[in-house]
Structure 1
C-alpha cells in the first residue's frame, strides 16, 4: 500500500473530528469542579446496566482485595472512590460515543480490555511512585486513544497496519511508513484538542518512550509508569502464566516500580487473575 497521510492532512482530518461528546465533556467538567456528588454518580451508574456491571467487576477484582464481596453500585463507588469511578464513566462514555465499526480487523473489545488492564495496574502501582491513583487510572484508560482515532480517520490503512503487525513488524514503525505519523502523536493531538488534563496529554505522548533500559534514569511520572506496566502486562496478555512472566520482566522494571523480590510474585498473580476476569467481560 502506497497511501500515506502527511501531517498537514492529519491536521485537517483532526479538525474534522467531532468535538468531545457532550456527555463526556459534562463529566470531565464536573469532575474538575467537584460537581459530581456521590449520590449523582451512583444514580448515573445505576441507570446503565453495562456501566454498573463494570463498576462491580472492578470493585471485586483482586486489586482491591474484596473479590465477590461488593454487591451494590453504592458499595463499589464507596470502595473505588468518586474520582476513579468518574474516570471509568469517562471511558465508557467515550466507548459508547466512538465505535469504529468500519474497520473489521480492529478488535474494539480487545482494545478496551487492554486499556482497563493497564488502568487497573496503574491505579494500584501509582501510589508507590507518589502518583495519584485516579489520575493514573485515567491515563491507563486513554493511553492508546490514538489507535481509536486512526481507525476513525483512516480505517483502510489501519487494516493494513493490523495485517503487517500481525506478521511481526513493530506497530509504530508500520504506522509511520504508511501514515507519516503514529498513534501516539495522533492520540496526544486529540487529547489536547479535547482539553484533557495536561498530565494525561503528556502520558499519552510519552508512554512509549524510555524502555526498561532507561527506567532507572527516568523521574517517576505517568508516562514512565505506563511504559513499565506494559512490561508486566504484556506477557500475561499473551497468555503466559505468572511464573513464566516472572522470567520475562526486566529487573529494571521491578526497580523502577519499587517492588522488592518478595512482592513480585504476588503482583503478577493478582494481575493475571484480574486480566482473566476482565477478559470475561
Structure 2
C-alpha cells in the first residue's frame, strides 16, 4: 500500500480504530498458552456489556445448555476459550463501529456480515476444519476495510461506492485510485490489532479468485470465507451488479477445492436465513426485522419479474421489425443464447428466494418466528405464489425461444 495511505489509516486508528481494552486483554490472554479460564473470566467481568452478551449467547438454544449459565466462568468452561474469544471479538467490534458515520447502510452491512460469518462457520464445520470460531470472526469482519476507508477517505469512498453501485467493479475502482482495496486494508488494520493470522489473511483474501485444484492447507480458511461471501444472499447494497455466471463458476471451483458438493452448498444456504435472524437477536446486532427481509425478497422478485417482462417485450418488438428469414433465424439463435443464460440466472435467484420463504415458514411452524398478526405467513405465501408465476413465464420464454419465428404470432 502507498505510504501516505498507510500513514493516514494509522493516524486515524489512534482516534477511531483502537480496539476496546477488554478486547486487547482477551487477545493477550489467548496468545498465552499458560492462561486459564479463570483469568479470562476475570477480564470479561470488568465489561458489563460483554458479560451480558456472552451469557445471553451461552444460554441461547444454539448451545442448548442443560441448566442456566449464570457466570462468565461457567460460560468459559462450557463453550471454551476459543468460542468466548470469538464472541468478544464479534461484539466488541460491532460496538466500536456503531457510532461511525458512513455512506453504508449499517443494517444491510451487518446483515450481510453476520450471514457470511455464519456461512463461514457452517462450511468449516461441514468439512471438519478445526477453526470454525475464528472463521466466524473472519466472516463477520471480511468487509471491515470498507468501514475503515469510508471513515478515513469519506468523499472518495462515497464516489467509488456510488459509481460501483451502478456499474459494479468496486475492487477495480479501489485499486485504480488507492492501489489497494478494502479487503487488504481490513487485513492491514486487523494485523495492527494483532488478531490471529488466520482471521487477518482470510479477510484479505475474500475477493481472491482461486483456481481449481488449490489444495494448499494454509489457503483453506481463505477459501472458506471467500465461498461464504459468494453464497451470501443478503448483499451490502440494494443494487448488486455482478456477473452471475462468473460467481457461480467460482463458487463451484472453491466448493470442489474444499470437497463440497452442490447439494452441500444448498443445504448450508437453506439454514442461513433463519440462523442469521436468530443469532442476530442474542448478539444484539441490528440486521432488520423479518418483515424487512421479506420485503427485500419481494423487491428482488419484482425486479426479476420486470426483467422478464422487458425481455418478452423486446422479443415482440424485434420480431415485428425483423424482415427476412435469414435475419429472423439469426435473431432466434441470439435469443436462444440470451434466454439460456437468463434462465440459469433467474432459476438460481428464484430458488434462493424460495429457500428463504421456506426457511421463514419453517420458523413459523416451529415457533421460532412469532407472527401474531399473520403478516409474515401471508407474505411467505405471496412470495411463493409470485415465484411460481415468474417460473411459469420463464417456461413460456424457453418454449418461445425454441419455436420458429413464424409461429410467434
TM-score over 0.5 for the alignment? yes
**Any conservation in 2 of the 1:13–1:153 contact (CA below 8 Å)?**
yes
Identify which of 4, 7, 16 aligns with 2:2.
7
How far apart in 1 are the matches of 2:188 and 2:228? 23
Structure-to-structure mapping, 1:59-138, within 5 angstroms: 59-60=60-61, 80-99=79-98, 101-103=100-102, 105-127=103-125, 128=127, 130-138=129-137
How far apart in 2 are the matches of 1:50 and 1:144? 26
Evaluate the alpha carbon distance shift between residue 110 and residue 73 of structure 1 in structure 2; reply closer, same or farther with a 3 A threshold.
farther
- Determine helix, strand or coil for the equivalent of 2:269: helix
How far apart in 1 are the matches of 2:142 and 2:70? 26
- Determine helix, strand or coil for the equivalent of 2:213: helix
1:270 alignment counterpart: 271
Evaluate the alpha carbon distance shift between residue 166 and residue 73 of structure 1 in structure 2; reply closer, same or farther with a 3 A threshold.
farther
Evaluate the alpha carbon distance shift between residue 257 and residue 86 of structure 1 in structure 2; reply closer, same or farther with a 3 A threshold.
same
Q: How many residues align?
A: 259
- Determine helix, strand or coil for the equivalent of 2:167: coil
Identify which of 207, 214, 219 aligns with 1:217.
214
Bigger CA radius of gyration? 2
Structure-to-structure mapping, 1:103-182, within 5 angstroms: 103=102, 105-127=103-125, 128=127, 130-182=129-181
1:23 alignment counterpart: 22
Unaligned segments of structure 2, at least 5 residues: 239-246, 281-286, 290-409
Q: TM-score when scaled to structure 2?
A: 0.54
Evaluate the alpha carbon distance shift between residue 157 and residue 169 of structure 1 in structure 2; reply closer, same or farther with a 3 A threshold.
same
Evaluate the alpha carbon distance shift between residue 45 and residue 23 of structure 1 in structure 2; reply closer, same or farther with a 3 A threshold.
closer
Evaluate the alpha carbon distance shift between residue 206 and residue 10 of structure 1 in structure 2; reply closer, same or farther with a 3 A threshold.
same
Q: CA deviation at 1:13?
A: 0.7
Evaluate the alpha carbon distance shift between residue 253 and residue 43 of structure 1 in structure 2; reply closer, same or farther with a 3 A threshold.
same
Indicate the structure whose relative CO is greater, using CA pairs within 8 Å and at least 6 residues apart.
1
Evaluate the alpha carbon distance shift between residue 43 and residue 264 of structure 1 in structure 2; reply closer, same or farther with a 3 A threshold.
same
Q: TM-score when scaled to structure 1?
A: 0.75
How far apart in 1 are the matches of 2:165 and 2:56? 30
Unaligned segments of structure 1, at least 5 residues: 1-5, 240-246
How far apart in 1 are the matches of 2:27 and 2:55? 21
CA RMSD in angstroms, aligned pairs only: 3.5
